[in-house]
Amino acid sequence: MLTKIQFGQELEKRVLQQQSIADIAQWVQDVYEEGVVDADFTFLELLLTLSTLDGSFDDEFEDEDLLEIAELLQAGQDVEL
């Protein structure tokens, strides 16, 4: 199980390694299923949203957005969609 800060660190690492959005979404889904130690409703909503990304042009999030989310989580801030 990860904490929100650890999730942010891992998300940043995966984006910087240029993993595909679909691969990141699959990883997020795995994290959601395993659980996050300090998850709250807002964070769970974020996980559910990120787990549905497929890399299509319809996706709201790009690498820059994911990096911003990662930085906010690492700073201990909540991310509201």
Check residue 60 and report its DSSP letter.
Answer: S
- Note the pLDDT of residue 61: 84
Count the neighbouring beta carbons within 10 Å of the beta carbon of residue 31: 20
Q: Which residue has the tokens 């909503």?
A: 45
User: Quick one: 67 exposed, middle or buried, by C-beta within 10 A (0-12, 13-18, 19+)?
Assistant: middle
What's the pLDDT tens digit per position in 32-74? Answer: 999 999 999 999 999 999 999 987 777 778 899 999 999 999 9
pLDDT classification of 81: cutoffs 50, 70, 90: confident
CA dist 65 to 35, 50, 53, 71, Å?
23, 11, 13, 10
